[in-house]
Amino acid sequence: MIPYSKLQHKKVLVLGLAKSGVAAAELLHQLGAFVTVNDSKSFDENPQAQGLLKKGITVICGRHPEDLLDEGFELLVKNPGIPYSNPIVSDAIHRGIPVITEVELAYLVSEAPIIGITGTNGKTTTTTLIFEMLNRGSRNPLIAGNIGTVACGVAAEATKENVIVTELSSFQLMGTIEFKPDIAILMNLYDAHLDYHGTFEQYVEAKYAITKNQDEEDWFIYNADQEIVNQLAMKSRAKKVPFSTNGRSEEGISADETAIYWQGEFYLDRASIALPGKHNLENILAAVATCILYGCDKQAIEEVLKTFTGVRHRTQFVREWNGRKIYNDSKATNCLATKVALEAFDQPTVLIAGGLERGHSFEELRLAMNHVKGVVAFGETGKRFIEFAQSCGISETILAENVEDAVPKAASISESGDVILLSPACASWDQYKSFEVRGDLFIEAVMKL
């Protein structure tokens, strides 16, 4: 850890605990700051706050005092999920107090180079691929951010021999000032989190923070197939590496139907890649480009691509059963994610979908349903999804009680050569605590077939 001294004896407020707040408070305390933590959960029911108090950190729990900022704080570190409309956050901005997330702290103290990955879709898969390739290539990677451990906690322990591979959300990036990764990756940009950012333009601006501080010594890997991403790339001062799935290109990394190319030259055959889908091809290109730039051995990259079948709950291959290939995409909690999953397959597909009723239309899926031969639907949206499937001309439709009940029903209307895909297009909270629980129960049911 870099002995960062600029926060010593500074009064810092950490707003919101959870994992990121605890890690930030502990790191700030270690750096010699005078730390106060404020969390809405009462102290008696807040073991994290109790632990921080024992370390000598001031803790205010159970309420957010209106006069809290009168204490003279010089910095506010907020939980990424707390919106900027929060009264304390907006008051801090009005007073000219810098507002950051713990990702900024990670950058300030890290001895290790940082690889940052962001985008609307594909962050987790790309981050995992990079980590696995670098790990296989003995490059000493550490994984952090939305996947793995809190970034500032990882950075505090990392050395110059490591590299930190960090998945970054727009919420985290919006709270950065000096953050400058050695390699930044922007996967794509679609409408998302507008309830937090207000407008798509503000969401895009938050994502651009991943490269805004980069200079000629850094690398920016970006999706050349999206015009809005190209426009952002033009503004970046970093060395640029575009990726494209629309055929061979002389620049950056690209792919056609048969191969992947690096700077226009053949790099590897696509036939050896285990992970299906065009969206995953984008993830693969970004990951391979990163690892090439980082000096990772080609053999290590190829070994990962031959064996990596997906992140858990994200178009994850579960098993082959009587000629059917079965995939778990429980993370698909909206129509866009399910559309992308469906487009990853050409084979006849039995789709398992449904979940929390939010009243949204399923029309976005219509064009992607052309190879769906059957639908098994469950949850609050089950009946409505069946009606939608029938309007798409799908006659094999079954209503199931839950995801566990849906698996044998889907198997009953499938044939050898089919894909059975759980991709709900809905959140899980009507029946399950999380999409992870839903996906785990799906896997258990699949293994019982």
Residues 233 and 251 in one domain: yes
* Residue 2 domain-assigned (yes or no): no
Q: Are 321 and 210 within one domain? A: no
Question: Is 352 in the same domain as 301?
Answer: no
**239: domain range?**
107-307
Tell me which of 249, 272, 307 is where a domain ends.
307
In a domain? residue 6: no
Query: Domain holding 274: CATH number?
Result: 3.40.1190.10
Q: Identify the three-state secondary structure at position 398.
A: strand
CB 36, CB 14: distance < 8 Å: yes
Q: Is residue 332 part of a domain?
A: yes
- The reply to whether 399 falls in a domain is yes
| CATH number of the domain bearing residue 363 | 3.90.190.20
Q: Per residue of the chain (449 residues), give pLDDT as tens.
A: 998 999 999 999 999 988 899 999 999 999 999 999 999 999 999 999 999 999 999 999 999 998 999 999 999 999 998 999 999 999 999 999 999 999 999 999 999 999 999 998 889 899 999 999 999 999 999 999 877 789 999 999 999 999 999 999 999 999 999 999 999 999 999 876 777 787 999 999 999 999 999 999 999 999 999 999 999 999 999 999 999 999 999 999 999 999 999 999 999 999 999 988 777 899 999 999 999 999 999 999 999 999 998 877 888 889 999 999 999 999 999 898 899 899 888 899 999 999 999 888 999 999 999 999 999 999 999 999 999 999 999 999 999 999 999 999 999 999 999 999 999 999 999 999 999 999 999 999 999 99
Same domain, 123 and 195: yes
Q: Residue ranges for the binding site for ATP?
A: 119-125
> 1 lies in a domain?
no
Q: Are residues 152 and 279 located together in one domain of the fold? A: yes
| 28 and 116 both lie in a single domain | no
Taking the model in full, what pTM does it have? 0.81
Domain count, the chain: 3
Q: Read off the amino acid at residue 312.
A: R
C-alpha span between 207 and 223 (Å, rounded): 13
What is the predicted pLDDT for the residue at 81?
A: 87
Distance in angstroms (rounded) separating the CA atoms of residues 8 and 27: 11
61 and 122 housed in the same domain:
no
Based on the fold, state whether residues 331 and 258 are members of the same structural domain. no
Domain limit, last residue, from 81, 100, 119: 100
Half-sphere exposure of residue 3, counting CA atoms within 13 Å on the CB side? Answer: 0
- Binding site: residue ranges? 119-125
Give yes or no: residues 424 and 392 share one domain: yes
Do 372 and 261 fall into the same domain?
A: no
CATH of the domain at 49: 3.40.50.720
Contact 376, 401 (CB under 8 A): no
Q: Is 334 contained in some domain? A: yes
CA 444/CA 267 separation, integer angstroms: 39
Asked if residue 132 and residue 235 are part of one domain, the reply reads yes
Beta pairing class for 324-328 and 316-321: antiparallel
Show which of 250, 280, 307 is a domain's final residue. Answer: 307
3 inside domain? no
5 in any annotated domain: no
pLDDT of residue 192: 67
Query: Quick one: 89 and 123 in the same domain?
Result: no
Long-range contacts of range 34-41, CB-CB < 8 Å, 24 or more positions apart? 34/9, 34/10, 34/58, 36/11, 36/12, 36/60, 36/71, 36/73, 37/13, 38/13, 38/14, 38/64, 38/65, 38/68, 38/88, 40/16, 40/64, 41/17
